[in-house]
Structure 1
Amino acid sequence: MTRLGGLALAALLSATALPVHAAEVEFDLAHWLPPTHPVHTLGVEPWVKSIAEASNGRIAINIFPASQLGAAPDHYDMTRDGIADIGYVNPGYQAGRFPIYSLAEIPFHVKEVKKGSGALHEWYAKYAEIEMPEMKFCLINPHDPGTIHANTEIKVPEDFRGKNIRPAHATMARFVSMLGGSSVQVPAPEAREAITRGVADAITFPWNSIYIFGIDPAVKYHLDMPFYISSQMILINKAKYDALAPEDKQVIDDHCTPEWSMKFSEGWADNEYSGRQKMIDSGEHTLYEPTEDEVQLWRDAAAPLLDQWKADVKAAGQDPDVIYDEYRQALEASGSLY
C-alpha cells in the first residue's frame, strides 16, 4: 500500500483522528498505543489542541494511533524519513542506538515522573542534538515507575534465573540476561499475547498498563517497588520543523519545553499508579514489598549496567562521568532521584 493510501485508510479507521480544518500547516502524528490509552487521551490530544489554539488554527495535527503508520520500533525512522511528521518514540526499542539516553533506562534512579519528566527534559535536551540530529526534540514522556509482574513470586535478583521475561527496553533486556533469565522482546502492544500464551513468565510494566493491555488475569505476583522507567519522546521531523514560518516555529517551541513534558506526563502517571491500588482492592493479586537488604541486592545487581553505560558513552566520544552527574543533579533538584 502506498503512503497516500495508508493515510487515507488510517483516517477512515481512526475515529480519534482530529478533523482537518483549513490550516496553513498540517502534521501527521503517529503513535503505537490504542486511542483509549491515557497517553492519547491525557497527553497527545490536549497537546495537539493547545497547538491548534495557540496558532489560531494555522497548525493542524492529525493523529494516527495504534501503529496505523508503522510498528512501534519503527517510529524513529518513520519520523526521520517523513512517513510521519511527529513520532511518539521509545528510544529503548533500538539497542545501542542512543547510548546517552539509555541512562534513563537503568533501574533505581527515578522514583517519580510528574516532576521527573521535566528534569529528564532539561538534562537531555542538549544531548538530543548529538544523538538525534535529524529531529526536533520536543517532549519526554516517562511512565510512572514500573516493576516486575509475574505468574510466580519474584522477590530478589536470583528469582530471575531461568525465567522468560518481557523487558521494557534494551537495558532491561540486558539486566534480565545478566541475572540468568531469557528476554522475550516484544513491544508493549504485543506483550499480552506473550504472557497469555506462556511465552513469557513475567513482564516489566507500569501498574495500570497490566489492566490496560488485559494482562491482569495472567500475572498475580508483583514486586512492590519503583523499579525502572521506560521513557518515550515526542520527536518532530527536522526538515518539517525548519520549513515553518517563524511564528509557527515559536508555537512549536512553546510546546516543546520541560513544563510541557510535565503536563504531557502527569495524567498518565496518575493513571498508572492507580493500578497498584486496584490490584490491592481486588484481593486477587499479591504485592511483595522488598526489605532494605533486598532492595540493596537489586541495586548491587544493577551496578554493572551503569558500568556498561559508561563504557558505551565513552566509546561514543562523550564524558560519561559528567553526563551521569548532570543526570543525578537534575533528578535530585526536582525531588525525583530514587
Structure 2
Amino acid sequence: MNNNIPKLATLTAGIALALSGTALAQTTLKVSHYLPPVHGIHTDFIVPWTEQITACTNGEVQFDIYPGGTQLGNVAKQQEQVVAGVVDIAHGLHGIPRGRFPRTSLIELPFMTRDAGAASETLWDMYPEDLAPEYRGLKVLALHAHNGGLVHTADKKVETMEDMQGLRLRTPSPAVSAMLTALGATPQGLPPGEVYENIQKHVIDGTVFPWDPVKSFGLNEVLNYHLEAGAYTVPFFFVMNQRKYDALPDNVQTCIDEASGDTLVAKFGDWWDTWDAAGRQEAEASGHVITELSDTERERWREALQPTINDYIEQTADQGVDNAREIYDRMLELLAEKQSR
C-alpha cells in the first residue's frame, strides 16, 4: 500500500493543477514566409523573434516555422493563409499578388528613398491613420522595406536609360513594373525563387533587387553586371491572424507586443545594411562589374519617370484610395525627415 502513495500524490497534484488552471497549456503557433532558411529574414529576424516570445512566456508558446520551399512557403499565399487561419503569422511581400495593398505600395514609386530604415519607420508611422484599412482581420506586427534596389543583368552592362531598352527584367510589383516600362525595359512578374532558373535559361535578361536576395537566391552565379541605381524600394508585411491574437492570454499578447511594433521596425535598417553588404561582397569576389548610376543620369531618370509617378497615383485614387496623393506626399515628407537625421 505504501508503494502507491507517491503515485497517488502525483496524480492528485496533477488533477489539482489542472482544475486550478495553473497547469502549463502549451500553444504552438505556425509562422510562414517565402524566403530560404539561409536568408537574414529567417536567421536574424523570424527565428530570434519566435525565441524571444517563447522565453518571455516561459515556454507557454512554441512556434513551427515554414520558410520558402515548404508547403506553406508560397510567396503569393502569405496574406490569404494568415487571414484564413491556415497559419497564425506570416511575413510576405506586398506586391504579390498584385493590387491588395494600394496605399502601402505607394512607397514603391521611383526615387522615394534608398534607405531601408527610413522607409520602414515611415510605413510604421503611417500605418495607424493612412494604411490600416488594408489590414482588416490582421494584427500588424511590423511593416518594413528594403534598401534601394539595383538593376542586375547577366550579359549587358547598364549605365544609361538607353541601355535599358528591351531588357526583360523581373519585377516585384505594379509600381516597379511601371517604372521599368517607362525606362524602356520589359517587366516580367516572377516570384523571387524563380529568377535564377529564368536567367539561366535566358528567359529574362536580369532582375531588380537589392543586394541581399542576389546572394540568398544564388544569383551571383548567373549575373555579371550590377547598376547601383537605388531607384525603388519594396515593402513587406509581418502580420498575425487577429482572431488568433485576441484568443491568446493577456501575458502572451504582451510578449508578442513587446517583441513587435516600434521595437522590431527599428531593427530593419541595420539588418538590411548587413544583408546587402554580404551580397555586394560576393559579387565583388566573383569579379562582377558594379556601376553607380551617375548624378546626371539619375536626374534624367527622375524627369522621365515623373509622368509615370503621376499616372500611378491617379490610378491608385481610381481604385478607391481617394487620398492617394496625400499619402504619397506624406511619405515623401516623413522620408525626408528621417533621412536627414
Moved over 4 A (4+): none
Q: Which structure has the larger Rg over C-alpha atoms?
A: 2
Displacement of 1:309: 3.3
Alpha-carbon offset, residue 87 of structure 1:
0.8
State the TM-score, normalizing by the size of structure 2.
0.85
- Alignment pair present for 1:255 and 2:250: no
2:225 pairs with 1:221: yes
Letter in 1 for 2:216: I
Alpha-carbon RMSD across the aligned residues, in angstroms, is: 2.1
User: What is the CA–CA distance in structure 1 between the aligned matches of 2:302 and 2:248, rounded to whole Å?
Assistant: 46
Contact 2:146 2:235 (8 Å CA) reproduced: yes
Residues 124-154 of structure 1: CA distance to partner in whole angstroms, max 9, x if unpaired? 3433420121211111232232200012012
Picking from 309, 315, 318, the partner of 1:306 is 309
CA positional deviation for 1:258: 2.6
- State the shift of 1:166 in Å: 0.6
Which one of 133, 137, 157 corresponds to residue 134 of structure 1? 137
Identity among equivalent positions (%) equals 27
Whether the aligned pair in 2 keeps the contact of 1:148 and 1:222 (CA below 8 Å) is yes
SS of corresponding position for 2:136: coil
What CA distance in whole angstroms lies between the structure 2 residues aligned with 1:322 and 1:140?
20
Maintained 8 Å contact 2:89/2:240:
yes
Q: Structure 1 residues 313 and 187 mapped into 2: Cα distance closer, same or farther (>3 Å)?
A: same
Q: Aligned pairs, how many?
A: 315
Look up the match of 1:30: 32
What corresponds to 1:180 in structure 2?
Answer: 184
Q: How does 1:165-314 map to 2 (within 5 A)?
A: 165-264=169-268, 266-282=270-286, 284-314=287-317
> CA offset at residue 84 of structure 1?
1.0
SS of equivalent residue, structure 1 residue 61? strand
Q: Does the aligned pair in 2 maintain the 1:47–1:255 contact within 8 Å? A: yes
* Cα distance between partner residues in 1 of 2:300 and 2:135: 35
Q: Which structure 1 residue ranges, 5 or more long, are not aligned? A: 1-21
Partner of 2:54: 52
1:288-329 deviations in Å (ceiling 9; x for gaps):
222221001121233234213321332314312321232122
CA contact (8 A) 1:122 1:258 kept: no
The 3 A distance-change label for structure 1 pair 336 and 35 is farther
Structure 2: give runs of 5+ residues left out of the alignment: 1-23
Between the aligned partners of 1:232 and 1:205, the Cα distance in structure 2 is: 14
SS in 1 for 2:240: strand
Is it true that 1:153 corresponds to 2:157 in the alignment?
Answer: yes
2:121 is the counterpart of 1:118:
yes
User: Is the Cα contact below 8 Å between 2:104 and 2:123 reproduced in 1?
Assistant: no
TM-score (norm 1): 0.86
Which AA in structure 2 matches 1:109? M
Distance 1:110 1:23 in 2: 46
| Alpha-carbon distance change, 324 to 140 in structure 1, aligned in 2, over 3 angstroms | same
Query: 1:82-121 maps to which residues of 2 (within 5 A)?
Result: 82-121=85-124
Q: 1:32 to 1:325 in 2, by over 3 A?
A: same
Amino acid at match of 1:266: D
Distance 1:317 1:113, change over 3 A: closer
State how far apart, in whole Å, the 1-side matches of 2:145 and 2:266 are: 10
Residues 64 and 150 of structure 1: CA distance in aligned 2, closer, same or farther (over 3 Å): same
Contact 1:32/1:65, CA 8 A, preserved across alignment: yes
Q: CA deviation at 1:36?
A: 1.2
Cα displacement (A) at 1:195: 0.8
The structural deviation recorded for 1:265 is 5.4
